[in-house]
């Protein structure tokens, strides 16, 4: 930071810049199976993908409203061995092609290939910005603020933000050690 005419000027990504008005943009997150396409259990081949008749129109309406569409999907079938990530990519390619044939598109597809046994209240989010801590809070996880990157500025201005970290660490290594220590203590209880 530099001092200019008695005011503090900061780099474009600093906490001070984060308080300036920004263009806020909404997005729509849509589950895949049972919402866009029929849920047949573990969809494991592109030929088994059957998109609901209304799905492309619904997505096209969101496209016309300039709302980004993010498809999210749990794909524990990968962890269970019903399909691999290459096959999932082929399924998603077919989904995108079918939507495109009807004038609709999505902006991204994100999936979790693990077993659905992650408990947010026992999980952690590590980051250097207030948005990382907000993510942790909103997910029901513990937020750990690291003082690297923008962390020191974020920590110095915590009162400006809606959420507070569960823990503060000097860096990622210390954050990991805090997690491991806490988990070790919990296993003893």
Catalytic residues: 31, 33
Strand partners, 30: 71
Q: What is the largest CA-CA distance in the chain?
A: 66
Buried b (16+ CB within 10 A) or exposed e, 68-98: ebebebebebbeeeebeeebbebbbebbeeb
- Kindly tell me the burial class for residue 167, based on how many C-beta atoms sit within 10 Å of its own C-beta (0-12, 13-18, 19 or more): middle
CA–CA separation, 30 and 90 (whole Å):
19
**DSSP-derived secondary structure letter, 45:** S
């Amino acid at each position: 930071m530099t001092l200019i005419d008695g005011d503090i000027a900061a780099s474009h990504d600093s906490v001070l810049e984060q308080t300036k008005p920004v263009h806020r943009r909404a997005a729509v997150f849509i589950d895949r199976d049972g919402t866009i396409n029929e849920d047949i259990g573990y969809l494991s081949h592109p030929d088994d993908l059957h998109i609901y008749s209304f799905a492309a129109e619904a997505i096209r309406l969101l496209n016309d409203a300039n709302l980004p569409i993010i498809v999210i999907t749990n794909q524990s079938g990968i962890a269970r061995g019903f399909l691999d990530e290459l096959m999932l990519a082929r399924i998603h390619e077919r989904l995108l092609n079918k939507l495109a044939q009807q004038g609709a598109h999505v902006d991204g597809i994100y999936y979790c290939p693990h077993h659905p046994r992650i408990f947010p209240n026992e999980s952690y989010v590590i980051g250097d910005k207030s948005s990382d801590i907000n993510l942790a809070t909103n997910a029901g996880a513990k937020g750990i603020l690291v003082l690297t990157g923008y962390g020191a500025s974020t920590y110095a201005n915590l009162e400006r933000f809606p959420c507070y970290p569960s823990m503060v660490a000097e860096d990622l290594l210390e954050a990991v050690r805090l997690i491991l220590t806490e988990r070790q203590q919990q296993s003893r209880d």
